[in-house]
Chain A
């Protein structure tokens, strides 16, 4: 068995394994990372989620030591590591394409870091055997990298880092190269491995479902900045910006102008003259401001127009069923509104509803707080 991290250190409540303090990175005139600060508590799974080009990879390379930040500080276990070379930081990284060494067998791959550290042969052999047991691949030492499947390689890449007992494990979109089925499977497996090793994981991805499924905390990154940090439910249910609302989970977006405000509610007139209701947190919104309203598909009720009841939700939009998208539990109805924009609605078959048919006239509605209202950009 791997010697476990010494327990007392983990008990210090304010101990963060990784802290990023106002990190900024400029390449010439281009700023890749702007003033990013965050902390990752010991033993947690932290994800950075953002579209490609948002600066998340640069941030990870700064943490690993392959890039030097223009401003700010990186601390690992409370100590600044800016002065340490990449090979001196106790931060290990699983690369996007895993970067397993093709000229070594599995055992040699895993032993590499231990050899660099100058450990003796018997210890190395013991640790390699132990870590392979732990990832469920006992006895593959002599196999060649190309003899393993994608998922097995993944686990070996993690084991190669974990055998060194890093303070933080960085993972750079490691599931990107896998096919969908395996990716779904590996999401769960990764989470389990993290529990098993009880090590802090910093995971980078552009795939929101990976981030949401695995993480304790997720930071949403856009154009070099962190838009919001929080647990997955919070990001999903209470996005703090239009970007987060649009990027995390599926959303329908309606554009319009604020026509009335009362308390936490706003009445918004859409371009086609219809009115919708939404909750607002943003104090800066004023009457007449241009806004976007985000509504999740599962928050929208759909009824046949002739059945419309009096106690229907506040917002009602008229539309016609345009098409049906069958995807098991995630099936959707695509409804075309009068202004010919399309809205996605969850299709709850078998919950007392009939199936909808193409061309049927329907009404859409949602609870007022299901709509998130943000100032429109530009």
Chain B
């Protein structure tokens, strides 16, 4: 009896931080945001309950265009991250020696040691018109005059890939690491070419990791703020910036909350769609034991 109580107590103690975290930092703020988004502002200190903020969103092409643009570019970043991250993850998990694996992993982590802001400034120093790359290209004679590499979508995509690719690599390495080499050898032995083995064995095996990585990178990208704004400059147009503008510069918390809810719903929808298309589910990927 005593023992049983002690077990119960320790279970409660273990669960408490998790439940507090979920309730206080995730559920309550979301409810607050949801509530705010349903308040229509009639005048100073005068509100009524309704869906006007959502209607406003749909009626303003700038808003939903920005959301679609953000989603589309996030998908692009996710796909490119997969292409960049997969060979790296494969090398770390399957080709590199055990000993150098930790070092390689650490190398991938280094970008996380500095803040988003510093990383973005790093890119600015490299890519600006009077920056290092432009200068180097001029000094080797590849280009005549200075060239501006900032403030366009390509730069934004590259900067975002740099920021999120690690979150693609980690789940990939952990799934690929669990793959027995004999599966590959069996694949060759039974007559598969490199491509067949990759397509029919490696990719299906890594699918939970691929999907988990894609979900994480997509969510991170769609929710990122500094990188697209600093690298995109006058043409950045990222949905999080709209949210910031509504909350901060326009004092319009109701619209900001509406946008927040819409971003959450929309990105969740994209993830759901992605899972449906790849025939995976959350339990088999992100929550994989």
Contact = CB atoms under 8 A, between A and B. Distances in A.
**Chain A directly contacts chain B within the complex, with at least one CB pair under 8 Å:** yes
B190 A92 contact: yes
Contacts of B192: 87, 112-113, 116
A59 to B, nearest CB: 15
A117 B205 contact: no
Given A87-B193, A117-B191, A93 B186 contact: yes
A95 B186 contact: yes
Interface string B25-64: 0000000000000000000000000000000000000000
B87 interface: no
Interface residues of B, number: 18
Interface string B170-209: 0000000000101101111111110010001100110100
Given A103-B204, A104-B204, A160 B190 contact: yes
Contacts of A95: 182, 185-186
Contact of B193 (A97, A113, A116): A116
A112 B200 contact: yes
Contacts of A131: none
Q: Which of B191, B193, B205 neighbours the largest number of chain A CB atoms within 10 Å of its CB? A: B191
Given A112-B200, A116-B193, A87 B188 contact: yes
A99 B191 contact: no
A86 B185 contact: yes
Interface string A91-122: 11101110101111000000011011100000
B283 to A, nearest CB: 16
A161 interface: yes
Given A86-B185, A102-B205, A103-B207, A113 B180 contact: no
A93 B183 CA distance: 11
A258 interface: no
B186 A99 contact: yes
Kindly state the interface size class of chain A when it binds its partner: 20 to 34
Contacts of A113: 190-192
A92 B182 contact: no
B205 A103 contact: yes
A86 B188 CA distance: 6
Nearest to B205: A103
Contacts, number: 66
A116 B186 contact: no
Contacts of A66: 185, 188
A242 interface: no
B189 A87 contact: yes
A99 B187 CA distance: 9
Q: Which of B186, B188, B192, B200 neighbours the largest number of chain A CB atoms within 10 Å of its CB? A: B186
Contacts of B200: 101, 112, 115
A299 interface: no
A64 interface: yes
A164 interface: yes
A93 B205 contact: no
B196 A99 contact: no
Given A101-B183, A103-B204, A103-B207, A93 B191 contact: no
Contacts of A86: 185, 188-189
Nearest to B203: A103
Contacts of A117: 191
Q: Which of A97, A99, A160, A164 neighbours the largest number of chain B CB atoms within 10 Å of its CB? A: A99
A199 to B, nearest CB: 15
Contacts of B182: 95-97, 99
Nearest to B197: A87
Contacts of B193: 87, 116
Contacts of B186: 93, 95, 99, 101
A133 B182 CA distance: 27
A123 to B, nearest CB: 15
A99 B185 contact: yes
Interface string A58-101: 00000011100000000000000000011110011101110101
B188 A99 contact: no
A99 B205 contact: no
Interface string B199-227: 01100110100000000000000000000
B190 A116 contact: yes
Interface in A27-78: 64-66
The 4 closest A-B pairs by CB, nearest first: A113-B190, A99-B186, A116-B191, A103-B204
6 contacts: A93-B186, A96-B182, A101-B204, A102-B205, A113-B192, A161-B190
Interface of A: 64-66, 85-88, 91-93, 95-97, 99, 101-104, 112-113, 115-117, 160-161, 164
